[in-house]
């Protein structure tokens, strides 16, 4: 039954997922969860899928404090793609995880070296807030 559905151009998009439909390689539409008709014989195809689930990325960053002590900071970032910005998330971002990791590295390496070892432990909320503000941009 599944093979016959694919031959006829029927497609099921799972819950918490969206699909990007193209016509001859050009963006056409975002397909919400459910059953859809994507007639491949008319040039329509699925370019890919995008998960809308919350994902977690653990970033380990080694940096030096103000008093010349090397510390390893682990930041756990939870993120998800927004359905209303699905086209940007699919076409503009090449590797989401690496781009988030780069932003987190930049913030940690700019913030922690201004603090002493003790104050870096005490001000972990300020570091987290700086990372969150940078990622929201």
Q: Domain spans of the chain?
A: 10-51, 55-136
Residues 28-42 have pLDDT tens digits of 999 999 999 888 888
Residue 1: band (very low, low, confident or very high) from pLDDT cuts 50, 70, 90: very low
Query: pTM of the prediction?
Result: 0.75
61: exposed, middle or buried (Cβ count in 10 Å: 0-12, 13-18, 19+): middle
DSSP assignment of 45-94 equals: EEEEEEE-S-EEEEEEEEEE-TTS-EEEEEEEEEE---GGGHHHHHHT-S
Q: Closest Cα partner for 59 from 114, 96, 30?
A: 96
Does residue 120 register a pLDDT over 60?
Answer: yes
Average model confidence (pLDDT) across the chain? 89
Q: What is the pLDDT of residue 118?
A: 87
Q: Is the dihedral of CA 127, 130, 134, 137 positive or negative?
A: positive
């Amino acid at each position: 039954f599944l093979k016959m559905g694919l031959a006829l151009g029927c497609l099921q998009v799972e819950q918490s997922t969206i699909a990007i439909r193209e016509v001859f390689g050009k963006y056409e539409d975002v397909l919400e969860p459910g059953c859809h008709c994507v007639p491949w014989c008319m040039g329509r195809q699925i370019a890919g899928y995008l998960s809308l689930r919350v994902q977690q990325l653990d970033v380990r960053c080694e940096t030096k404090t103000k008093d010349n002590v090397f510390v390893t900071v682990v930041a756990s970032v939870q993120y998800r793609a927004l359905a209303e910005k699905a086209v940007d998330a699919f076409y503009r971002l090449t590797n989401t995880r690496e781009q988030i990791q780069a932003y987190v590295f930049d913030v940690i390496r700019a913030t922690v070296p201004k603090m002493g070892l003790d104050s870096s432990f005490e001000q972990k909320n300020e570091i987290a807030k700086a990372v969150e503000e940078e990622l929201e941009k």
